Amino acid sequence: MVQGVRKRYSRSGPWVLDGVDLTVEPGVATVIVAGNGIGKSTLLRIVAGASLPTGGRITGRPDTVGYVPERAPAAMRMTARQYLGHIGRMRGMSSEQTRARTDELAERLRLVPGPDVPIAALSKGNGQKVAVIQAFLKPPELLVVDEPATGLDAPARAELAALMSEAEQNGARILLSAHESAVPNGKLYRLTDGRLVPDALRGMRIALRPTRPGLQASELAAEILMAEPGRVVVRTDDADKLLLKALADGWSLIEAVS
């Protein structure tokens, strides 16, 4: 599907993507993992057809693509229903089909105060729900979701997960991006130096809590995925060794996930 894709934003600028090859298969989510500014959103926009590559090509893109960007456009004066009506027409849906599907998804995602207010008047989270609705307005054959949890409350995140599961069961190809600290299940790739490395997230993720002041995550001798007050998430290929040292130093185990 993705063949030798390269991307840079100026003729003399660095390559954000530098020869990416990727096949997104039905039946299992494909997950791109990277930090901010690495190029994962650029890759997803190219796959979805929202941006053109500098080199390489995308083949086999289906007619119906659902794309949820990391940040939805917020400065629209039209109402959510008007915007979704336009999207529905572009996808060959009747007015009745679009209205019914809009109401269904607005209820499932708890869009507040509803689809009949200007998008510019919605909160950031509810604006993101409109972006989710437009992606699922017509059942997608290819679903591209950039940072699924961004801007959504917990019930909406759960409903998005349910919608993605339904799309997967219906045979859609699904491509997601995620930060290191929130990796969903699926076929994993790491984006590094403009290229994808398959199966790069091996090892165990371990969440720890410091039990006394002065403990530093850098002393754990493991790859740090997330560090915040009261919680550190690391990845290691030798969980037993790391846990023995961490517990001896004064860390408390929260969870370990393979």
Q: 184 with 229, same domain?
A: no
| Three-state SS at 257 | strand
Q: 192 with 210, same domain?
A: no
CATH of the domain at 79: 3.40.50.300
The structure tokens listed for 113 are 């105060």
pLDDT at position 234 over 90? no
Q: 116 with 91, same domain?
A: yes
Q: 64 with 48, same domain?
A: yes
Q: 140 with 115, same domain?
A: yes
Question: How many domains is the chain built from?
Answer: 2
Residue 41's domain comprises 2-198
Q: Are strands 142-146 and 173-178 parallel, antiparallel or unpaired?
A: parallel
Q: 226 with 180, same domain?
A: no
The structure tokens listed for 85 are 């009506």
Evaluate the omega torsion of the peptide bond into residue 73 and state whether it is cis, within 30 degrees of 0: no
Q: 159 with 238, same domain?
A: no
Residue whose C-alpha is closest to residue 139's, from 48, 63, 32, 27: 63
Distance CA 10, CA 94 (A): 41
2: number of CA atoms within 13 Å, CB side? Answer: 27
Q: 136 with 210, same domain?
A: no
Boundary residue ending a domain (179, 198, 217): 198
Residues 6+ apart with CB under 8 A from 100: none
Encode pLDDT of 212-221 as tens digits. 888 888 888 7
Encode pLDDT of 28-48 as tens digits. 789 898 777 889 999 999 999
State the DSSP string of 108-145. HTT-SS-TTSBGGGS-HHHHHHHHHHHHHSS--SEEEE
Q: 180 with 86, same domain?
A: yes
Alpha helices in the chain (DSSP H): 40-48, 80-90, 95-108, 124-136, 154-169, 239-249
> What pTM, to 2 d.p., does this model score?
0.75
Boundary residue ending a domain (171, 198, 225): 198
Q: 72 with 128, same domain?
A: yes
Distance CA 89, CA 52 (A): 24
Boundary residue ending a domain (198, 231, 248): 198
Q: 33 with 60, same domain?
A: yes
Q: 68 with 120, same domain?
A: yes
Encode pLDDT of 65-122 as tens digits. 999 988 777 778 899 999 999 999 999 999 999 999 999 999 999 999 999 999 999 9
